[in-house]
């Protein structure tokens, strides 16, 4: 199963890495290191898109992080607005053509879609990914991978009518709706509300310092210190989203929810969760060690 709708015959799309934001950039850097490895390691050619960020130095900060991971060829794409995205003969297109890895920073996802939507740059990103370019997005960059993208919305654990606004994303993972900063910003309600509008996509809620690695065959693997919440709505038997009043809680019956931590997997083709391939090594509880007799605290 391909996770995108742009695969040409004989081509294998690149790995997609959706990061929940606030990933470790200074210590082990497991998630960013995995992105670099997938893109070619020291031989990787990485293009960074920081259009989502309102901070002028975001792209340069990520350049420093990837340089510390021994990537020699790194370019920060200069696409501050739609005028730049539409510029004929843009050097951005040349950089994308040679990139083995493409990284989208956090910020505001609508800054990216309003600038890139319908442009040659957006088309190039999809085409290059279909040809094998690895793509990672953190925070807003993760949401951008969806076709039906969460643009913004309110936090809270209860789904409520009109709690979330949707927009068209880059469409690299059309079968998914991706949300980020999931646990810290309490975003279960808005992901459930998004699925109530149309239960066909699979909902991914990704915690901070956590990533969903999505292979071209549709196998998703979790990497990081948090969890990925997967909501499967195709079995929904009832929803009142079509007649609930604005702001009112919704009734959703028949949803299935899986929680995946580091190493756990999910087959997007069969919509089935799977345990890690390698069982984690148990870490002794400090209190149990202190008691020494196994009794509960």
Enzyme catalytic residues = 139, 181, 208
Residues 6+ apart with CB under 8 A from 177: 146, 148, 149, 150, 191, 194, 195, 201, 202, 203, 204
Contact 231, 190 (CB under 8 A): no
**Bridging pattern class, strands 219-224 and 265-267:** antiparallel
């Amino acid at each position: 199963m391909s996770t995108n709708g742009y695969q040409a015959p004989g081509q294998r799309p690149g790995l997609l890495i959706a990061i929940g934001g606030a990933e470790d950039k200074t210590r082990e850097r497991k998630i960013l290191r995995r992105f670099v490895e997938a893109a070619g390691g020291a031989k990787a050619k990485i293009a960074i898109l920081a259009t989502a960020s309102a901070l002028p130095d975001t792209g340069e900060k990520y350049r420093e992080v990837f340089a510390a991971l021994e990537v020699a060829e790194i370019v920060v794409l200069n696409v501050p607005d739609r005028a730049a995205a539409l510029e004929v003969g843009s050097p951005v297109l040349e950089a994308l053509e040679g990139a083995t890895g493409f990284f989208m920073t956090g910020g505001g996802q609508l800054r990216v879609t309003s600038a890139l939507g319908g442009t040659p740059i957006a088309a190039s990103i999809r085409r290059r990914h279909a040809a094998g370019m690895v793509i990672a997005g953190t925070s807003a960059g993760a949401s951008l991978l969806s076709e039906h993208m969460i643009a913004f919305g309110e936090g809270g654990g209860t789904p409520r009518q009109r709690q979330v606004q949707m927009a068209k994303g880059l469409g690299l993972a059309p079968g998914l709706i991706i949300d980020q900063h999931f646990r810290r910003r309490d975003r279960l309600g808005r992901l459930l509300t998004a699925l109530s509008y149309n239960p066909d996509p699979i909902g991914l809620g990704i915690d901070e310092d956590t990533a969903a690695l999505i292979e071209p065959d549709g196998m998703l693997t979790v990497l990081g210190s948090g969890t990925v919440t997967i909501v499967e709505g195709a079995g929904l038997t009832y929803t009142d989203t079509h007649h609930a009043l604005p702001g009112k809680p919704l009734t959703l019956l028949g949803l299935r929810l899986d929680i995946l931590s580091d190493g756990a997997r999910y087959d997007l083709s069969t919509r089935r969760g799977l345990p890690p391939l390698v069982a984690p090594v148990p870490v002794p509880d400090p209190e149990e060690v202190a008691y020494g007799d196994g009794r509960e605290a």
